[in-house]
Structure 1
């Protein structure tokens, strides 16, 4: 049996009245949460969900997503969370590709379920007040095993159709245990869920790891810089995980003094965070920011800067317990410290594969190593620095240019909030870099200023051919900049 599937029930036995999941005004204690998980699992069974099936959930961030995850595991089924911001066609694609047997959600979900011929369960009834005292049917408890699929997480799909990443209970057991060990998580910890729960980060790092450690989870509504610090001050979390854009916005938009005394640490992931922003945020708010790195294919995290040890802003830290991270040449040979190459990952956290795509799985998982497609270097102390994506490399007249280096330069300009550099075809040079910038609130910056700034800090061939200043840059639903849209201006 999977120990993860038993978490709600182990907690209820050990501390029935302890807090488990908080969501707005709701505080679901351990006993209540476990009872609601069991009740939902039995409802899933009544609509035909069996071990090995897939349960889909489509809701904005709320406690019901967490309950549905554990209820699916109770049945020995996998969960696929569907981003509620998807169009109907995009949602139907995920439901059909994952072969979902049921969709848990609202009235919109009811219509989508009907359109693809699957069952629907009303999410509004999962934690209904009257359910608290309702007896559950006798059963034998959770049936999921270590080898059963636990999550099917769909990639962001910035190019082509999204792929379903298959993570089993053994993957999640290794990953959550690694995070508990690295951050020394205990029952005293509270995670504030900032990132969306249709993503592996929110479900595993933000939810599973603290619940496994005996701590609790606060589900935050959609991120707003105007109300975010109010949530921190009222719920007193010990950590949260966010993307660089959120940290940049909080730094730019926070005008009052805030109480951060409950926070032990903050995590940044999903995209590289400028070292200058990390240092500035730490100094201003008095909380260590540890940058990490990982993929859905590696169950979310593989490297994170340590809390008890040197933190190196600009790196994504050391390999997490139980994982090996290396940098290899195109022929697969491991490279010495300081040498650029492709980042590869090995460990029990590496995915089982892409759902229904054996050829694509074989391309990225070779000899037990997950090939990430990221370019990086590892220093003498084992700290990984991500240089860029292999596919984002710009070759200008034979010179290799990594956009991240130019972006770091742009972020050092005091008026820049967001920056993205992409390649543009050129009839003479083959490709040239082009920069897109969004200014900080209340600041104005011109293309001429940005060109002068880059010229003063970069080799001439790295200076972008053009600079475009916009009010905001395109992002996906996780808050990560989407460069693909910048490469196709007609779509922006």
Structure 2
């Protein structure tokens, strides 16, 4: 037997009174999280849902998430976490595509009408049978959208014998962002998810006296699930929930709760730095470990954060299909800023060409990965699985180089590469150069259609506060600092850039 729920159950047995979750004024012990999860498992069993069934969960970073997540796992079922920004039609698609039998959905707020969207999506789906509402008002037993979880759990036992699952059984189905075609569900086994949490726990040192970990990355995403919630519960840490990232609030919460471990995407670190510099907010003194992933961090942000916060950001790399962590700048060896480090324990990486042929030396080439972290495949899509998996290797779609010490540096997503007049141009390289200009706070480079060249290079820029730099000035500066075929011919200033729920810049929208 191997069930991912062990990360909660073992900690609940060992430290029942230890604080597992902090949310607002709530401080919830491990024993309570485990008890409510057992009630959820009993509820599912009472509705005929068990081993091998799929159960969807649409919820921001609230205590409901671990309650339901681990309850589904205890029941032997598979968790299907849904992005909370999905519209009704998209929710229906995910429910149908995953063959979900039930949906636990947060009631929502005026700013996030998730209950309304979830109910409509549930009703439009073909095979989903049960809809449970997670009320916005704590412990509310009624909801306009349907059966409240608290009413459904009334009378359910807080004891449940976890269903025996095999290591290779599917624990979680994580949907990819769908940048190309419809979103696909990556099937991740109990072994995939548990091993990734265990390796992360071994890799990052614990703070003296125990860790307080900030959960601001969405828990519906693999990064937040594995590196924060699952690793946090495994090491018996306290996990501080923040449903929506706002840099000032994040800094205040870190200081209030004595956060020692922060995991975020590069734009979060950029936003906190901007807040500190603009408003003179004092950085929290408790922070011991800062990790970044999701996309490549600008070198200027890495340097500024270490100087300002006194903590170096450890960059890593992974995908939903890899549970998600594949490589990291690991604390027990020298970090190399600008790289995503070396493969984690039990994982191999290499560079390949479009025909799967191994590329020796520094590359560039596409990253391929194999190890305990690789998904079983895309749910119900054998052809799509065959396109990205061969002989245990998974091809990532990310272009990278590799130095003599085995550190990988992401050049760009293969689909983001710009081909201008026959020359390959990697946007991230240009963004790094642009970020060194004093007027540039954040940059995103994309290719736009051009009649004769195929694509032209365009830069979207957020200026530093007080800057009056013009488009022509930046283009002229870029011309002096980049090769003739690389520099952006078009610059557009923006107050903000479109981002995903996890904080990645949405380049497809910019395009």
User: Are 1:33 and 2:30 matched, yes or no?
Assistant: no
Deviation of residue 111 (structure 1)? 4.7
Q: 1:242 touches 1:268 (CA, 8 Å); kept in 2?
A: yes
Pick one of 338, 343, 356 that aligns with 1:319.
343
Tell me which residue corresponds to 1:122. Answer: 133
Residue 355 in structure 1 maps to residue 364 in structure 2: no
Instruction: Report the RMSD for the aligned CA atoms in angstroms.
Output: 2.2
Please list every run of 5 or more consecutive structure 1 residues that lacks an aligned counterpart in the other structure: 488-492
| Equivalent-residue separation in structure 1 for 2:242 and 2:133 (angstroms) | 21
CA distance in 2, matches of 1:96, 1:444: 51
Runs of 4 or more consecutive aligned structure 1 residues displaced over 6 Å after TM superposition: 129-135
Equivalents in 1 of 2:288, 2:14: separation in Å?
Answer: 25
CA deviations on 1:70-114 (whole Å, 9 max, x unpaired) are 101101111111122211111111111111111112243345434
For residues 81 and 50 of structure 1, what CA distance do their matches in structure 2 show?
Answer: 17
Which residue of the partner structure matches residue 178 of structure 1?
Answer: 199
- When the two structures are superposed, what TM-score results if normalisation uses the length of structure 1? 0.94
Q: Structure 1 residues 426, 141: CA separation in 2 closer, same or farther (over 3 Å shift)? A: closer
Residue 499 of structure 2 is matched in structure 1 by 475
Equivalent pairs, count: 487
Provide TM-score, normalisation by structure 2.
0.90
Kindly state the Cα deviation for residue 138 of structure 1 after the two structures are TM-superposed: 5.8
| CA spacing shift, 1:135–1:427, aligned 2, 3 Å | closer
Residue 59 of structure 1 aligns with which residue?
A: 59
The answer (yes or no) to whether the contact 1:55–1:102 under 8 Å persists in 2 is yes
Q: Conserved in 1, the CA contact under 8 Å of 2:176 and 2:186?
A: yes
Call closer, same or farther: CA 1:394–1:240 in 2, change over 3 Å.
same
Q: Distance in 1 between matches of 2:54 and 2:274?
A: 42
**2: CA distance, partners of 1:177 / 1:296:** 17
8 Å Cα contact 2:352/2:367 also seen in 1: yes
Equivalent-residue separation in structure 2 for 1:289 and 1:137 (angstroms): 41
Match of 2:368 in 1: 344
Tell whether the 8 Å contact from 1:174 to 1:322 is kept in structure 2 after alignment: no
Are 2:167 and 1:146 equivalent residues in the alignment?
Answer: yes
Q: Supply the distance in 2 between the matched residues of 1:15 and 1:211 (Cα, whole angstroms).
A: 11
For the Cα contact (< 8 Å) 1:75–1:142, is it kept in 2?
A: yes
Q: Which residue of 2 aligns with 1:490?
A: none
Q: Distance in 2 between matches of 1:323 and 1:426?
A: 42
Structure 2: distance between partners of 1:135 and 1:64: 16
Higher mean C-alpha displacement, 333-342 vs 457-466: 333-342
Deviation of the 1:342 alpha carbon: 0.8
Q: Which residue number in structure 1 is paired with residue 251 of structure 2?
A: 229
* Superposed CA offset, 1:386-415 (max 9, x none): 111222222222222111111111111122
1: distance between equivalents of 2:396 and 2:3?
29
CA contact (8 A) 1:191 1:239 kept: yes
Moved more, 393-402 or 179-188: 179-188
Contact 1:421 1:436 in 2 (8 A): yes
Alpha-carbon distance, 1:159 to partner: 2.9
Corresponding residue of 2:261: 239
Q: Distance in 1 between matches of 2:161 and 2:275?
A: 52
CA distance in structure 2 between the partners assigned to 1:297 and 1:6 by the alignment: 22
Between the aligned partners of 2:20 and 2:322, the Cα distance in structure 1 is 27
1:205 and 2:213 are equivalent in the alignment:
no
* Range that drifts further, 68-77 or 154-163: 154-163
> Residues 262-277 of structure 1 correspond to what in structure 2 (within 5 A)?
262-277=286-301
Question: Which segments of 5 or more consecutive residues in structure 2 lack a partner in the other structure?
Answer: 108-114, 142-149
Partner of 1:329: 353
Alpha-carbon deviation of 1:259? 4.7
Report what 1:407 is aligned to: 431
Paired residues of 2:247 and 2:275 also in contact (CA < 8 A): yes
How far apart, CA to CA, are the structure 2 residues paired with 1:110 and 1:29? 31
Per-residue deviation at 1:209? 1.0
